[in-house]
Amino acid sequence: MSGCTSSGSAENGRPRWRVAEVLRQHGPALLARGGLSTQQRKALRDAQRCRTAALGGHIDACSACGHQRPSYNSCRNRHCPSCQGQRQQRWVQARMERVLPVRHFHVVFTVPAQLRGLWRCNPERLHALLFEAARVTLTTLAKQRLGAVLGVTAVLHTWTRELHYHPHLHCVVTAGGLDLRRKRWVPTHPRYLFPVALLGKLFRGVLLRRLEAAFANGELRCVGRAAGLADPEAKDRLLRQLRRIKWVVYAKQPFAGAEQVFRYLGRYTHRVAISDRRLLAVGAESICIATRNGGSAQMTPAQFVARLLLHVLPRGLHKIRHFGLYAPTHASRGLPLATRLLAPRTDGDAAAEHPGEQPRNDQDAQQRATPEPPASCERCGSATVRLPVPRLAPARVRGPPRSGVR
């Protein structure tokens, strides 16, 4: 289904509908039906309870006018649409302290549609193979064409704008690398990283070889939509078909600067399948969401919740990984060496340039030691008193009121 009649999705700059409210209303029916994994049940329950009295919190009460403003605790589940903003900001800041001062390319590796059924049955194993195939593809071409080691940060996504299952990796890649002899920085071509056709061909070969090995070792489950692949002949036909088709690898031109790179990537790292602002209309029988280029898609509430749960990752699976110079193994030697080669300067030069600047660790410690000023009343401006809100039983879950509580 597609298309919807509603166009207003915000009131006073705030979303008119919220994903958490949809999950609280329609999630219990899906839980009662069964068939969900442990992680899916946990993600659904956490999102339903997030920022409600069920998790406790506090009330800022004004002693002058009596106005009260509740603030409830978040669930901190990585799949919750309400919990990722602060994590994203912290992640971006941490990466900015380690990013190399060079241009970066944005490369996207996509899994062919023919493999998505198998992927849904084996997400933990096949997501790992996807990361590995992207890493081998980029590092191999870097050694062959540049004789260098790149810096790569990869982020896993599993959805389309319509919330369908679509595994792919967003990779931010340095426009060059550290020479294998660790003597100099080797830049790439100013307009492209590597030929896109070559990227796609190598990526296809690497992933298919690992996929064949996983089949041969009995590491993959063939159930549900992938049940037919339990037949060796069907599996061999699929692999032959995949060798013939063109695999999609998308590469954009380089970003203007390092800061732009990770602020852009930060929008991907902690994003979940949908945000509140993409809800265009929510009714008892249908939900309409915004898609690309001003389009929309319509589905039932049950379909909406089920599609969201498709994108819950297995426990312990890291959706953000770093390779090459950005890998932890290069944090103490390769990355600092590349930084010095790109911008040679001594610590004395830096101190002379900023004589009054405190070291970052000292600044952070000072900020932590500074007490937070008391909140002020949003109505009269007087100081407020913070009162705890105890956790409620799950049956009494409710979200905070839109305009505060008297």
The pLDDT of residue 194:
93
> Do 65 and 161 fall within a single domain?
no
Measured between alpha carbons, how far is 197 from 247 in angstroms, rounded to an integer? 9
> Do 66 and 199 fall within a single domain?
no
Average pLDDT on 17-45 reads 90
Q: Does residue 358 lie in a domain region?
A: no
Q: Does residue 406 lie in a domain region?
A: no
Give, in degrees to the nearest 5, the angle at Cα 114 between 109 and 116: 70
User: 122: pLDDT confidence band, cut at 50, 70 and 90?
Assistant: very high
The residue ranking higher by pLDDT, 404 or 306, is: 306
DSSP secondary structure of 82-116: TS-HHHHHHHHHHHHTT--SS-EEEEEEE--GGGH
The pLDDT of residue 351:
38
> Do 336 and 386 fall within a single domain?
no
% of the chain residues with pLDDT over 70? 81
Average pLDDT on 280-307 reads 94
> Do 116 and 171 fall within a single domain?
yes
Average pLDDT on 96-109 reads 88
Average pLDDT on 312-337 reads 92
Q: Does residue 195 lie in a domain region?
A: yes
> Do 28 and 137 fall within a single domain?
no
**Is residue 177 a contact partner of residue 142, using CB atoms and an 8 Å limit?**
yes
Q: Does residue 142 lie in a domain region?
A: yes
Q: Does residue 68 lie in a domain region?
A: yes
State the pTM of this model.
0.81
Task: Domain count for the chain, please give it.
Answer: 2
**Is residue 50 a contact partner of residue 83, using CB atoms and an 8 Å limit?**
yes
> Do 380 and 264 fall within a single domain?
no
Q: Does residue 349 lie in a domain region?
A: no
Average pLDDT on 181-195 reads 92
> Do 259 and 146 fall within a single domain?
yes
Q: What is the number of other CB atoms lying within 10 angstroms of the CB of residue 342?
A: 15
Q: What is the largest CA-CA distance in the chain?
A: 78
Q: How far is CA 93 from the centre of its chain?
A: 16
**Is residue 182 a contact partner of residue 352, using CB atoms and an 8 Å limit?**
no
The pLDDT of residue 354:
38
Q: Does residue 294 lie in a domain region?
A: no
> Do 134 and 196 fall within a single domain?
yes
Q: Does residue 86 lie in a domain region?
A: no
> Do 196 and 157 fall within a single domain?
yes
> Do 206 and 332 fall within a single domain?
yes
Mean pLDDT, rounded, of the chain:
83
The residue ranking higher by pLDDT, 60 or 206, is: 206
> Do 29 and 157 fall within a single domain?
no
> Do 209 and 329 fall within a single domain?
yes
User: 268: pLDDT confidence band, cut at 50, 70 and 90?
Assistant: low
Residue 47 belongs to domain spanning: 17-79+376-396
User: 109: pLDDT confidence band, cut at 50, 70 and 90?
Assistant: very high
% of the chain residues with pLDDT over 90? 51
The per-residue b/e assignment along 120-153, b for 16 or more CB within 10 angstroms, e otherwise, is: bbbbebbbbbbbebbbbbbbebbeeebebbbbbb
